[in-house]
């Protein structure tokens, strides 16, 4: 039976085994990650002192190998997230504050083209977050009638918004052509 692990014995374990584990890690991870993976390896050894065998080096190398795999998985996930963010944002033009104001104005104009009942239906769902059943109860009609009303409201709103955006595109093109024609 091996003697119980104490902080002094753990320090001795670290001093005797860390150089070998560090050499192992240098072969398996990037130089800037060696110390981090080494620290994780010995942190696990500290937490599981009761499982460290009397000849600890093979056990520590297995832990280091597992920590290396964990490090690589984590690194791959982080890189995948980074590349996805770059890929997504790379193709998306950055909207200016003006664009947000113009889109809001277009939405308000489109919203004004809906009837009072259609505006109420849109607001109950989009603004108040009600379900169709609850919104129908508030609107004083059946769920089926409310669903039809909401469908018509969305269609009218979408048509009006598309018309506003097309008008904005035409006016922007006209402004650009006017600027190009100036001497």
pLDDT of residue 167: 76
pTM check: above 0.75: no
* Structure tokens that stand for 43 in this block: 């942190």
Burial letters for 138-150: b for 16+ Cβ neighbours within 10 Å, e otherwise? ebebeeeebbebb
| 3 state DSSP class of 140 | coil
Q: Do domains 7-91 and 97-181 have the same CATH topology?
A: no
Residue 136 token pair: 């129908």
For 111, residues 6+ apart whose C-beta sits below 8 A from its C-beta are 119, 122, 157, 160
Model pLDDT, residue 177: 62
Print pLDDT tens along the chain (183 aa).
455 667 788 888 899 999 999 999 999 999 999 999 999 999 999 898 888 888 899 999 999 999 999 999 999 999 988 888 777 766 656 666 766 677 788 888 888 888 999 999 988 998 888 999 999 999 999 999 999 999 999 999 899 888 887 776 666 666 666 666 665
Q: What is the CATH number of domain 7-91?
A: 1.10.1740.10
DSSP 141: S
| Correct CATH for 97-181 of 3.40.50.10320, 3.40.640.10, 1.25.10.10, 1.10.10.10 | 1.10.10.10
The pLDDT of residue 1 is 45
Q: Where are the domains of the chain?
A: 7-91, 97-181
């Amino acid at each position: 039976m091996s003697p119980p692990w104490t902080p002094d014995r753990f320090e001795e374990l670290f001093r005797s085994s860390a150089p070998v584990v560090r050499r192992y890690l240098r072969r398996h991870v990037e130089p800037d990650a060696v110390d981090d993976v080494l620290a994780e390896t010995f942190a696990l050894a500290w937490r599981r002192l009761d499982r460290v065998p009397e000849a600890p080096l093979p056990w520590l190398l297995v832990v280091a190998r597992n920590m290396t795999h964990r490090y690589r998985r984590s690194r791959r996930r982080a890189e995948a997230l980074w590349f996805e963010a770059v890929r997504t944002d790379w193709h998306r033009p950055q909207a200016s504050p003006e664009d947000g104001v113009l889109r809001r104005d277009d939405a308000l104009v489109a919203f004004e083209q809906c009837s009072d009942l259609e505006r109420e239906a849109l607001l109950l769902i989009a603004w108040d977050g009600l379900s169709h059943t609850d919104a129908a109860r508030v609107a004083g009609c059946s769920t089926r009638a409310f669903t039809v009303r909401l469908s018509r409201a969305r269609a009218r709103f979408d048509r009006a918004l598309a018309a506003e955006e097309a008008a904005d595109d035409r006016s922007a093109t006209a402004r650009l052509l006017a600027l190009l024609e100036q001497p």
